[in-house]
Amino acid sequence: MRQEQPIGIFDSGIGGLTVASAVTQLLPEEEIIYFGDTAHLPYGEKSTAAIQSYAIKICNLLLEQDCKLILIACNSASAAAYDLVKAYVGSRALVMNVIDPVVDWAREEMKGKVLGLIGTKATVNSGVYQQKVAGLNAGIDLKAMPTPLLASMIEEGFYQNGVSHSVIAQYLSDKQLQGIDALVLACTHYPLIRLEIEEYYQNQVRVVDPSALVAKAVQARLMLSNLLRKTKVKEEPRFFVSDFTESFLHSTTRFFGREVHLTEYKLWE
Ligand code: DGL
């Protein structure tokens, strides 16, 4: 592998743009190719087998694009397909997920504490976070709860309003999430409601947005493999979606922080 090769980032749709944004901010010299599988979103409601088959197909595309690293920028896909994708890709590219950087952070910061986590049904019910955190043997009491309404609520642009305040309050007041010291936003959409969640907790609970942790982990991994790009790439990041709609296009700005050009790539035809 060479330093000049691109980083491939994929998600079920546009949520992973929050992760792509953190990666481009930390590593502005890297070339980025993003693929959002908008034809199949939401992954959070899909079976493990379905998510795995989508992930392999997307990886083939990113490998064809000569990516040196494939980042699964979706918690649901990281939970369902990371081991499979890693085995499938083998030595052709590095493969990373959005779960391990959070687990590494928890090892350092959450010893003996109570950690809350919210995400999609696919993520929470997979038990992957629970297994990995238990495997740390760090006395962390993980309280994970699916919050399936949140991703579609955010996609519809419902945040910082009365609807989002009450949905968030309803979920966070659930007894499963009481007594936590910190809350992990284990879904790529949730950074958009981070402020509201912090307001709900009145800053008594630390709210963890994994995107910056993930970007740092990507940097460390590339550095370790001597694959960090030294000279800034000339091309702008390229963004592909498997099904284009105007509504996705409009949402991209909110998730990425600036306007992006979306190209449709019919991977399933
Ligand atoms: N990107 C997904 C995740 O992080 C959320 C959206 C979906 O369900 O597809 O889990």
Q: How close is the Cα of 235 to the center of ligand 1, in Å?
A: 28
The minimum-distance atom of ligand 1 relative to the CA of 44 is: 8
| pLDDT at residue 269 greater than cutoff 80 | no
What separation in angstroms does the CA of 232 have from each of 196, 200, 265?
Answer: 36, 41, 26
Tell me the average pLDDT across 117-144.
98
Q: How close is the Cα of 162 to the center of ligand 1, in Å?
A: 23
Residues 78 and 102: their CA atoms lie apart, in Å, by 12
Residues 227 and 157: their CA atoms lie apart, in Å, by 38
What domains, with CATH codes, occur in the chain? 7-97+212-264 (3.40.50.1860), 100-210 (3.40.50.1860)
**pTM recorded for the entire structure:** 0.96
Q: How close is the Cα of 82 to the center of ligand 1, in Å?
A: 14
So what's the pLDDT on residue 235? Answer: 85
Q: Whose CA is nearest to atom 7 of ligand 1?
A: 42
The minimum-distance atom of ligand 1 relative to the CA of 12 is: 9
52 lines ligand 1 (CB under 6 A): no
So what's the pLDDT on residue 250? Answer: 85
151 lines ligand 1 (CB under 6 A): yes
So what's the pLDDT on residue 229? Answer: 96
Is 41:74 a contact under the CB 8 Å cutoff? Answer: no
| pLDDT at residue 233 greater than cutoff 90 | no
Task: Give the helix, strand, coil percentages of the chain, each rounded to 5.
Answer: 50, 15, 35
43 lines ligand 1 (CB under 6 A): yes
What separation in angstroms does the CA of 93 have from each of 87, 158, 183, 187?
Answer: 11, 38, 32, 24
37 lines ligand 1 (CB under 6 A): no
Query: 3-state class of 157 per DSSP?
Result: coil
> 205 φ, ψ to 5°?
-125, 135
So what's the pLDDT on residue 251? Answer: 86
What separation in angstroms does the CA of 52 have from each of 44, 46, 64, 81, 198?
Answer: 13, 10, 18, 5, 34
So what's the pLDDT on residue 150? Answer: 96
Tell me the average pLDDT across 187-197.
96
Q: How close is the Cα of 27 to the center of ligand 1, in Å?
A: 24
> Over the chain, what is the mean pLDDT?
96
